[in-house]
A and B are shown apart, each in its own frame.
Chain A
């Protein structure tokens, strides 16, 4: 495909350190995201869908560690970035909308301030320019430091993992630990050798950048001074003119008007010039109002000074979206944005996200457990279970030809408007990820499980170019098991409706065109 890949996740593994050992939340997840598409990640709670996206945003909990894999975004591996470097991406390039709009807004801060806050904080243009100039060298240096830290952390995690593993004997542990340590010191040594050179480069470029920006600001200030001096001269001359006149004369009022105009001009000019140095309050206000209009908040000027509690749930979610949009992100992660909302409001928010997506050509990762919402929003769907993607494919493939038993279970556990049979519920609970199961994680709850499911993990089987599923049922030697009846019925019904609708559309079109023709004939 010729489309531009915006994000690539390869073999990502995330674990959480707990007193009982490592909880493997995400195990070997890979997916790509293309520009302008929506990828939906579906799964029940605890399947690791939120954790994956928090890893992409770099906001894992403190005990969370990235075990392996990489997240490639604009030629950078996000798992190896320094925190300072991540600041430039998080929020600015990748925006996120959280589930609960009430808890993601500050209750004692006016809405307007919350929307403009990021703009004002990041608004020092001189500094930003300076940063841009020496940004590459600086972050090369910081990333190297971060890599040393990461190496340290990895050593710690490895030792932790060893210590919590009860299967390995003590002497073996010792040798392994010393092995790790040797490897670690070697790596760190390599890195440290590179450091001084990087630092020198960084400092050098920084000095250059500072000098350059100083020069630029001096030019700007001179410009400003000149312009102001001109205006002030004008002002003084007008005032001098006034002196000889009495208040009753017509000319007097005219000149007063002119003076006021000049004063206004001075104020405007000064604002314009400060805009060159930093984002002013007025600028932030104007931008906030326009974004609030974009996300469909009526009377934004009035709403600007209100508090979150004065907004309804849907409006609050709109504010959260507005805040995410202020930085012009190109990737938006929506973590169950409508779960806390009502059906009618859910529809509005989904429409809004779709509109924004089209307007700004955003790529969206949409996390949800509501399959109806997925059907509405997504271009592609990934189904996650127990930290793994078990099936992914295009929207129609997942909904009309699901292959994985877990996808079947998810689809059959929600009634649609014409369901009359008993719902198929998924028995049992998801596995404890402290001890990830050996074979297919879903085998215990799967009524179609094969023997092999219990001791060997299934690989991805290709169904079509875009459709893959990890289940042994697709192996050529496996027995052919058809979709459960409830889903098959539903798909048949939907398809029949669809054909009917298309036929109806054609009829309508014909009617319309024939009418048109008649009109032309007459």
Chain B
């Protein structure tokens, strides 16, 4: 059974990979200057089709993590890979690597030239050979250095990933006729129009008849559609990065604050499409209506303003806005904590449906563990910028090991009076008292398959004892 599961894990497609993400905020000025390490070196992966939850109390940096991943913040360090492409890079780290490499190359070059010089003075090589060799060394040095520099350059580029235009594609735009996609579009509309023209030629319609006019109009429309499709193709070729980034969307906590009160629902939902280069009004209408239907609203709602909706409906608008650009990955930042009890179930059910029908991967940021257990496949527990426990949902809920996870779990109130009577006092997690990290600093270690806990060696042994005794 376990074996099977592990095999499955290996086969899972990694949709998002975060490694060493850091987000520091600089605060104050003068004497009170300080750095707030909101997220400090966290790493995790999210696999396709799963719901990954990030849990912790407020102020632990879970929202900041979500916002850094979707690049609402310019992160301090770390790398983020989305669909295998690096969308955020650690420039400072790359710079250091480049510097190291450069000094190494410099030293090597100097050593080699010195050796040559010696051999020349000793008369073991001719002058021509010498200059030849020197050139070789220089070429090699330049090539290696430029390679290293390219890596640094690409890291710098990836920092502002989404706004970068594909320059190669930009050059190729002029020869767009040679692309097969272009040919396809042209062919498609040519066939359509040919059919229509044949019909006109075949039929014996009067010169002014409505039928004829309709056909002629259709031909003209097809021409316009072809133009639009080609401009879309051009846009997609150039803005590859943006296309990738729009596969990641976010749902915000407060449905009142996150919707512009002066825009109609249609404008709110269509904004993302417009930014992403969709210009055809008809297409926009269609897609907006479809998004509204998926979240359980009706197209008539599109012309209303946000204040005319209830809290749950507003949150649905927020979800529709995320869905309209067809994302594969959604970051849901506490989508239900600002909602009323009766509406929470609606939103959870909706998100669950989306995952099942559209295969959307969800990163669910929350502090309510009962919802997290109901809804997610894997979870990570966060405490003041660090991940303290991460892994499969059932493993963590069956064997919570880190004291902070334990204190979180003990504090969930359940709708069961007997349980509440039995439940003792909630013990507050106090890192200074519950850990002794003076000898050895903690790190994330794998206690059992797909279950990692932040601990040092001594704690690691203790936790494993605990697991065995269970």
Contacts and interface: CB of A to CB of B under 8 A. Distances in A.
A298 interface: no
B341 A375 contact: no
Contacts of B375: 415
B417 A343 contact: no
A419 interface: yes
B456 interface: no
Interface string B397-420: 100000000011011111111111
A49 to B, nearest CB: 12
B348 interface: yes
A62 B310 CA distance: 25
A498 interface: yes
Nearest to A426: B342
Interface string B408-447: 1011111111111011011011000000000000000000
Interface size range of chain A in the complex:
35 or more
Interface string A473-495: 00000000000000000100010
A376 B423 CA distance: 9
Contact of B426 (A344, A375, A399): A344
Most chain B CB within a 10 A radius of its CB, from A371, A396, A409, A429? A429
A414 B370 contact: yes
A343 B341 contact: no
Nearest to A370: B413
A345 B408 CA distance: 10
B426 A372 contact: no
B456 to A, nearest CB: 24
Contacts of B418: 396, 494, 497-498, 501
B369 interface: yes
A501 B422 contact: yes
A234 interface: no
A347 B426 contact: yes
A348 interface: yes
B460 to A, nearest CB: 25
Nearest to B412: A343
A413 B347 CA distance: 11
Interface in B317-369: 340-346, 348-349, 352, 367-369
B240 interface: no
A313 to B, nearest CB: 7
Contacts of B179: none
A224 to B, nearest CB: 49
A410 interface: yes
Nearest to B418: A498
A45 interface: yes
A426 B345 contact: yes
- With a 10 A CB-CB cut-off, give which of B57, B342, B420 has the most chain A CB atoms: B342
Nearest to B310: A429
A343 B416 contact: no
Given A347-B411, A348-B428, A351-B425, A416 B416 contact: yes
B418 to A, nearest CB: 5
A346 B411 contact: yes
A425 B347 CA distance: 9
A369 B340 contact: yes
Size band of the interface chain B makes with A? 35 or more
A370 B352 CA distance: 22
B344 A413 contact: yes
Interface string A395-430: 110011000000001111111110110111110010
Given A342-B57, A429-B310, A497-B419, A423 B412 contact: no
B367 A414 contact: no
A262 interface: no
Contacts of A351: 425-426
B428 A343 contact: no
A383 B349 CA distance: 24
A371 B368 contact: no
A422 B349 contact: yes
A159 interface: no
A344 B57 contact: yes
B467 interface: no
Interface string B377-414: 00000000000000000000100000000011011111
Given A343-B408, A344-B428, A372 B414 contact: yes
Contacts, number: 129
B371 interface: yes
Contact of B370 (A345, A374, A375, A415): A415
Given A343-B369, A370-B341, A376-B420, A417 B57 contact: no
B234 interface: no
Nearest to B60: A342
Contacts of B417: 375, 395-396, 399-400
Nearest to A371: B415
Contacts of A417: 369-370, 373, 397, 412, 414
Interface string A38-78: 00000011000000000000000000000000000000000
Nearest to B348: A423
Contacts of A409: 342
A347 B410 CA distance: 9
A343 B409 CA distance: 9
Nearest to B373: A417
A373 interface: yes
A343 B346 contact: no
Contacts of B342: 44, 409-410, 413, 425-426
B41 to A, nearest CB: 24
Contact of A415 (B371, B408, B429): B371
B368 A343 contact: yes
A425 B344 CA distance: 8
B58 interface: yes
Nearest to A46: B340
A371 B412 CA distance: 11
B407 to A, nearest CB: 6
A414 B413 CA distance: 11
B349 A375 contact: no
Contacts of B419: 375, 494, 497-498
A342 B367 contact: yes
Contact of B413 (A44, A376, A498): A376
Contact of B340 (A44, A348, A424): A44
B415 A344 contact: no
Contacts of A498: 418-419
Q: Which 4 A-B pairs have the closest CB atoms?
A: A372-B413, A347-B426, A425-B345, A415-B374
Interface of B: 57-58, 310, 340-346, 348-349, 352, 367-371, 373-375, 397, 407-408, 410-420, 422-423, 425-426, 428-429
23 contacts: A44-B340, A44-B341, A343-B57, A343-B367, A344-B428, A345-B57, A346-B413, A347-B413, A347-B426, A348-B428, A369-B341, A370-B413, A371-B341, A375-B417, A400-B417, A413-B341, A414-B415, A415-B371, A415-B374, A417-B369, A422-B352, A423-B345, A423-B348
Interface of A: 44-45, 313, 342-348, 350-351, 369-376, 395-396, 399-400, 409-417, 419-420, 422-426, 429, 490, 494, 497-498, 501
Given A343-B367, A372-B370, 13 more contacts: A343-B408, A344-B428, A347-B411, A347-B413, A347-B425, A348-B428, A372-B420, A375-B415, A411-B415, A416-B370, A417-B369, A425-B349, A429-B310
